[in-house]
Amino acid sequence: MNPKIKDWRGQRVWVIGASSGIGAETARLLLEQGAWVALSARSRNALQEIASDDANAMILPLDITHAQELVAARVRIMEHWGGIDLVLVVAGTYNKMRADDFDLAVAEKIVDTNIRGTLNCLNAVLPSLIAQGQGGIGIVASVAGLSGLPQALIYGPTKAALINLCESLYLDLRPRGIGVYLINPGFVATPLTAGNDFKMPALISATIAAHELMHGIERGEFHIHFPKRFTNWLRLLRLLPYRWYFWIVHKVTGL
């Protein structure tokens, strides 16, 4: 569904959200395989540690909730590289929340980062990608966006929005020669999930997640989801009648 990538050497990749978790491990793998990598996140120190003086790394600290910072970073990338082959929007935030502990301030922060932050990324990169007529953009959503789940009162809907966004982007951009990758991880061991007080089925490391992400892009997949032993069950659940769906989720989670 997207162009395949046989060799990462010389590929110009901007990883937004590269300071920890899946983004950090993906940036490391890309550098190991010879890609040119621009690393963005709020923490300059974390980015410098990941770049590790690699000549192919460019450090561009920013906050995705600030649209002009993303535009300025894109300008620098275009000045240095002359183009962008792939943009990976990995940045996001998570707070577990249920209806009885609804917090508007926290909810707005999640929406600002996960939805408005992603839109800020699109604002910065779409003009360049469309002008090039080639390249790609990958957005990390979550299987939590496939259907409603306990403790994901706000996080889940923001990821559902990103899933819909990627589907619409594919319809608009693929005919223009631009790849779109919807990336839906299951549970991944990252600083964001470290605070969960419930069992996380099929939990994988950020390194494994990064390998799965890159392999999916290499194969030209639109929907990249992992680990499939978990994500395929959630994809199946969304097809069931609500009466069955709610009963199964309650039984499995106890919530």
**Catalytic residue numbers?**
155
3-state secondary structure the chain: CCCCCCCCCCCEEEEECCCCHHHHHHHHHHHHCCCEEEEECCCHHHHHHHHCCCCCEEECCCCCCCHHHHHHHHHHHHHHHCCCCEEEECCCCCCCECHHHCCHHHHHHHHHHHHHHHHHHHHHHHHHHHHHCCCEEEEECCHHHCCCCCCECCHHHHHHHHHHHHHHHHHHHHHHCCEEEEEEECCEECCCCCCCCCCCCCCEEHHHHHHHHHHHHHCCCCEEEECHHHHHHHHHHCCCCHHHHHHHHHHHHCC
Residue among 201, 188, 242, 221 nearest 17 (CA): 188
Distant-in-sequence, close-in-space partners of 134: CB < 8 Å, separation ≥ 6: 85, 177, 178
Residue among 116, 72, 109 nearest 93 (CA): 109
